Amino acid sequence: MKPGDTALIQEVWREHVWAARPMRVVEDSDELVVLWFPRGTRWQAPTAPAGRAREPTRGERQATSLVLGEWTFRELEWDVDTLQLWRPGDWHSTWVSWLPDGTHWGWYVNIQLPFERTPRGLRTMDLVLDVIVDADGGRRLKDEDELATHVARGSVDRELEARIRAEAERILARRFDDAWLDWRPDPAWTRPELPRAWDRLVE
């Protein structure tokens, strides 16, 4: 992928697209893929199909969709300028985010399956638990309750849960540098848009 290209990022569960995001390519090498996901970008998120009784929490709704293999999509708008750093083999990606006035918001570490390349971008799957690192260095886990729900429902097994929690512990102990904090996108770039057939697996 070349700088400025639009990459299609697909989350995939059992050979079906779970979510899809368009991102602008900043850098692509054998060691690192850097992607720009600007505020206002429209993307597709999973939601329970019409007619299913609405469960009270997002974790319950998503776990049920994964176990049953039934979901539909809703379009959402991304709410914060985000630069994403993906390294081959890692079970996470690191997101650097800025508020609308350009102030560094902090880091968000998304625990996910190691990515695979496709002809149009990257493929992974979110693994529920995340780590938030504030600009002042404070850090905490996010969505532990949702992970517990996924384990109880069977969409995450005990072996994978242990792998996720071990990854979170490594992230919590990690040093976060400021190498990308002064980065800014090419002013000529427009917001990326999802391509046609974004909901089909790219082989």
* pLDDT tens track for 33-68: 999 999 999 999 999 999 898 899 999 999 999 999
Average pLDDT over residues 80-90: 97
pLDDT value at position 203?
67
C-alpha pair distances (Å), 175 with each of 36, 149, 169, 178: 22, 30, 12, 10
Kindly indicate the confidence band of residue 30, based on its pLDDT and cuts at 50, 70 and 90: very high
Q: Which two tokens stand for residue 198?
A: 């974004």
Work out whether strand 16-28 and strand 104-112 pair parallel, antiparallel, or are unpaired.
unpaired
Kindly indicate the confidence band of residue 121, based on its pLDDT and cuts at 50, 70 and 90: very high
Give the 3-state secondary structure of residue 116.
strand
Q: How far apart are CA 160 and CA 183, in angstroms?
A: 35
The sign of the torsion formed by the CA atoms of 161, 8, 44, 39 equals: positive
Average pLDDT over residues 133-145: 93
Whole-prediction pTM value? 0.94
Alpha helix positions (H), 47-137: 58-68
The fold of the 6-172 domain, in CATH, is FomD barrel-like fold (2.40.380)
Residue with the bigger pLDDT between 70 and 202: it is: 70
| Segment holding 54, helix H or strand E | none
Domain boundary assignment for the chain: 6-172
